[in-house]
Amino acid sequence: MSLRRTKIVATIGPASSSPEVLEQLILAGLNVARLNFSHGTPAEHRERAELIRSIAAKHGRYVALLGDLQGPKIRIARFANKRIQLKEGDNFTFSTTHPKDQGNQDIVCIDYPDLVTDCKVGDELLLDDGLIQMRVESVSADSLHCRVLVGGPLSDHKGINRRGGGLTAPALTDKDKQDIRLAAELNLDYLAVSFPRDAADMNLARRLRDEAGSTAWLVSKIERAEAVMDDDTLHSLIDASDAVMVARGDLAVEIGDAELVGIQKKIIAAARHRNKAVITATQMMESMIHNPMPTRAEVSDVANAALDYTDAVMLSAETAAGSYPVEAVKAMDRVCLGAEKNPIMRRSMHRLGQQFERWDESIAMAAMYTANHFPGIKAIISLTESGYTPLVMSRIRSSMPIYAFAPSRETQARVALFRGVYTIPFDPSDYPVDQVSQAAVDELVKRNVVTEGDWVILTKGDSYHTVGGTNSMKLLRVGDHHQ
């Protein structure tokens, strides 16, 4: 059985909250469970988190939990009759003073007063992820008067974007601040920040996370045009994050869908180059909300993200609210394994001509170079406290499995997101110093990963409980006695 290197993130919602379905998702290969704070109550998220952890433990699986903050998605209020139908050429008004539940064919309240001051005549507004498009014809003190360019049905609470971005909403709302405290209480492994504009938004999220007492790694969702306008902004945003998500829904609306594929590839490459994990998200198998099989185009999309070396591919409504949540995870698993058979997946430029920033990064790179060039090697063992060394190793293209031998629950779950990295619970302090290497190799033998005569690479630090302490690499032959 070949191990899948590309990881699968799936959103947990009404279609996937029962113990039976969660168990099937975990057995089908779920690596990271996403709790979407835009929906559901704190009690529901708490119950889901506990269930996922207990079912995963029962099967000896390691599933990371990712909380996704709602962020300042700008939305319209409500219609008196729930929905309207707009046609090309219709006039339509967004007003900050119209009653919130009295929208009609001509006007709706907007929950975000700055929209009026942020927009000018000629701007294009996109609603419901770009399905409806309008142009601003005139602006008054409390209203935007628009003409419909592309019509369709419009219902309560749909989101609004402006083509080209530039809406000024801060990235963290009062609800987000409450949800950061919930993430701390639930011991979530990752926390995704919606609509960050720049590094400052992520630094604020980090401060709030620390104040709440959470150790979750922060994922910046790249979904604003401003975030990808120039390389400096993108790189500083990535540097201020622990991982990034290519959030293709809002991003495509703001930059235009024709630009999206190139930007996706650019973000994945930039994140990997900067030693960060990266998730590719939105509509990856959208048709599976209603169908048991994906389309050819969706298969191609998921496979291409895997070929780009994304750490993970993500399912949203497919597993949260769709009719076929388990089939969607199985389809993703199958497509990723197929893509990973391609020989291009093993070729690496190995950061030639680059200098390394840290000694543990240097050891990680030396290990990967050796693994890719010494034919007898079958596995890499990384004795790791924080998960950083296996993260850096997994930035290099390789088909070599990387085993993160970690003592803490946090690290065991966290590495579930990293491409080609697998958890083995292991505490070096349980063994005399001269028996640690042998004990680590024995763990792989016990799991039938390696047999006598195979070689493994082992990286470790002189002190086992120091973050950033990896300073040595050994080549060990299975069957020899090791100290």
Give the span between the Cα atoms of 75 and 205, in whole angstroms: 22
Active-site residue list: 34, 75, 221, 282
Indicate the pLDDT class of residue 462, thresholds 50, 70 and 90: low
What CA–CA distance (Å, rounded) separates 106 from 94?
A: 9
pLDDT mean over 150-161: 93
- Position 111 scores a pLDDT of 82
> pLDDT for 212-232, tens place per residue?
999 999 999 999 989 998 999
pLDDT band at 466 (very low <50, low <70, confident <90, very high): low
Continuous segment of H or E residues that includes residue 23: helix 19-28
Q: Is the dihedral of CA 129, 132, 138, 140 positive or negative?
A: negative
Residue % of the chain over a pLDDT of 90? 78
Mean pLDDT of the residues in the chain: 92
pTM here is 0.92
Q: What is the arithmetic mean of pLDDT over 83-87? A: 95
User: How far is it, in rounded angstroms, from Cα 109 to Cα 132?
Assistant: 17
Dihedral, CA of residue 190, residue 196, residue 201 and residue 205, to nearest 10? -20
For residue 348, what pLDDT band results from cuts at 50, 70 and 90? low
At 223-272, the pLDDT tens digits run 998 999 899 999 999 999 999 999 998 898 888 888 889 999 999 999 99
Give residue 355's pLDDT.
Answer: 67
| pLDDT tens-digit readout, 43-66 | 999 999 999 999 999 999 999 999
What whole-number percentage of the chain has pLDDT above 70?
95
What digits encode the pLDDT tens for the residues 95-117? 999 999 999 999 999 988 889 99
Q: What is the pLDDT of residue 256?
A: 85
Among 394, 392, 377, 395, which residue's Cα sits nearest to residue 458?
Answer: 377
Task: Answer positive or negative: Cα dihedral of 83, 88, 89, 94.
Answer: positive
Sheet containing 402-406: order of strands: 421-425, 402-406, 377-383, 455-461, 470-477
Q: State pLDDT tens for residues 350-372.
A: 555 566 767 778 888 888 888 88
Residues linked to residue 280 through DSSP beta bridges, in sequence order? 246, 313
